[in-house]
Amino acid sequence: MAKPISIEVWNPSGRYRVISTKPMPGTRWIKLLTDQDCRVEICTEKKTILSVEDILALIGTKCDGVIGQLTEDWGDVLFSALKRAGGTAFSNMAVGYNNVNMDAANKNGIAVGNTPGVLTETTAELAASLSLAAARRIVEADQFMRAGLYDGWLPHLFVGNLLKGQTVGVIGAGRIGSAYARMMIEGFKMNLIYYDLYQATRLEKFVTAYGQFLKANGEQPVTWKRAATMEDVLREADVVSISLHPILDKTTYHLINKERLAIMKKEAVLVNCSRGPVVHEVDLVEHLRANPMFRVGLDVFEDEPYMKPGLAEMKNAVVVPHIASASKWTREGMATLAALNVLGKIKGYPIWHNPNQVEPFLDENSVPPPAAPSIVNAKQLGLPTAKL
């Protein structure tokens, strides 16, 4: 489109022009901006993914900050246009920011925000749901019922995997990976093996304490192990969940490929709620085809919104459209954090000291702290941090 036509404007006389490239859930984020002298323009175009040209037209000649989406390509073209328009702030409405070229943002002096924490539990719950759905063949069984194929209980009908006492593997035991691990350990009494560049001390302490609790109650205690290599996790785990860092670089791109799939158990479950390109999807389809008892739960895909040929036909794959953070509370909270990131930078507020603790910004009954909740390039831009 030459110029976006559908724009919803809030507080037209506001001093700072803030654009949201999509309508976002809730209205708190709009009020927080308009209360602080922002004119908020929301692009309401029906098109799902805006192109760079679309966003350039939105930015125009005067724009202080933009709230964008993970589907958009934020590189030098957009950041330099934002800079020319007088802008200093951009925030993804997402914790992951692999759609953002950080070098370009730094070069143009644009602060880049993300939305950690608020989506941790929601995303972990979806990863747990996919683990169960895949292990217990829920989607396959549902389709079978709806097709009218059920003609009575059978000993072999949709036999799946028991989770209790099995080993859950987590690759990337950060916020989401640790929350997922706790759900699987507490809920299904699974043992843990994880791989991360850093030690997940709190998670280890939790598993130790829970194991002691189970033992004191006469139950089999759960255990944990920090793996020396990712291969150890793949080899030992019955259910593996990937919950890695946002940056897709040579350490995370196609991390799960033919060779690594081959070392997994034949009846393992693999869940990906991180980013699609972490898994070599063509190799995965081949592996699913050759190993019908191997199952996968996918929220993300290598070439979203598309799936690689063959994946849709695989009965041993459960696929959902990137909905891991899709609970009402979380999505409204993500919108709030993204808006406050942009607002904080525009107003010259300091950066919040701990992006793992963003609760004070999410309490609807109080005024949020005068800070930008999470700016990922604060250090590079020399922005001050504050504990308020």
Ligand X SMILES: O=C(O)[C@H](O)CO
Ligand Y SMILES: NC(=O)c1ccc[n+]([C@@H]2O[C@H](COP(=O)([O-])OP(=O)(O)OC[C@H]3O[C@@H](n4cnc5c(N)ncnc54)[C@H](O)[C@@H]3O)[C@@H](O)[C@H]2O)c1
Closest CA to 225 of 247, 203, 240, 241: 203
Q: Is 94 in the site for ligand X (CB under 6 A)?
A: yes
Which residue from 161, 243, 336, 374 is in contact with ligand Y, where contact means CB under 6 A? 243
The CA-based dihedral angle spanning residues 106, 304, 242, 351, taken in that order and rounded to the nearest 10 degrees: 30
Closest CA to 84 of 106, 54, 56: 56
Cα–Cα distance for residue pair 173/201, rounded to 1 Å: 10
Which lies closer to ligand Y via its Cβ, residue 36 or residue 123?
Answer: 123
Angle at 49 between CA 44 and CA 52, to 5 degrees: 95
CA distances from 352 to 83, 114, 329, 369 (A): 23, 12, 21, 9
Specify the stretch interacting with ligand Y by CB under 6 A; choose among 3-11, 21-29, 142-150, 320-328.
320-328
Specify the stretch interacting with ligand Y by CB under 6 A; choose among 168-176, 182-190, 329-337, 339-347.
168-176
372 binds, among ligand Y, ligand X, none (CB under 5 to 8 A by kind): none
DSSP letter string, 144-186: HHHTT---S--TTTT-----TTSEEEEES-SHHHHHHHHHHHH
Which residue from 4, 113, 174, 373 is in contact with ligand Y, where contact means CB under 6 A? 174
What's at 37, amino acid-wise?
D
Which residue from 91, 252, 341, 377 is in contact with ligand Y, where contact means CB under 6 A? 252
Which residue from 30, 85, 95, 181 is in contact with ligand X, where contact means CB under 6 A? 95
Which lies closer to ligand Y via its Cβ, residue 33 or residue 124?
Answer: 124
**Strands 224-226, 239-242: parallel, antiparallel or unpaired by DSSP?**
unpaired
Q: Is the peptide bond before 369 cis (omega within 30 degrees of 0)?
A: no
In the complex, the smallest distance separating the C-beta of residue 316 from ligand Y, rounded to whole angstroms, is 20
Query: x/- contact string, 43-82, with ligand X (CB under 6 A)?
Result: ---------------------------x------------
70 binds, among ligand X, ligand Y, none (CB under 5 to 8 A by kind): ligand X
Provide φ and ψ at 244, rounded to 5°.
-100, 175
196 binds, among ligand Y, ligand X, none (CB under 5 to 8 A by kind): ligand Y
Which residues within the stretch 203-242 sit at the binding site for ligand Y (CB under 6 A)?
Answer: none
Catalytic residues: 275, 304, 322
Closest CA to 274 of 95, 61, 46, 101: 95
In the complex, the smallest distance separating the C-beta of residue 299 from ligand Y, rounded to whole angstroms, is 4
Cα–Cα distance for residue pair 84/369, rounded to 1 Å: 30
Which letter does DSSP use for residue 209 in this model? H
Which lies closer to ligand Y via its Cβ, residue 96 or residue 369?
Answer: 96
Is there a contact between 175 and 202 (Cβ–Cβ < 8 Å)? Answer: no
In the complex, the smallest distance separating the C-beta of residue 36 from ligand X, rounded to whole angstroms, is 25
172 binds, among ligand X, ligand Y, none (CB under 5 to 8 A by kind): ligand Y
Q: Is 275 in the site for ligand Y (CB under 6 A)?
A: yes
Q: Is 243 in the site for ligand X (CB under 6 A)?
A: no
Provide φ and ψ at 45, rounded to 5°.
-55, 145
Provide φ and ψ at 198, rounded to 5°.
-120, 155
Specify the stretch interacting with ligand Y by CB under 6 A; choose among 3-11, 13-21, 114-122, 361-369.
114-122
Which residue from 85, 119, 278, 378 is in contact with ligand X, where contact means CB under 6 A? 119
| Interacting residues with ligand Y (CB under 6 A) | 95-96, 116, 119-120, 123, 171-177, 195-198, 243-246, 251-252, 273-275, 299-300, 322, 324-325
| Interacting residues with ligand X (CB under 6 A) | 70, 94-96, 119, 325
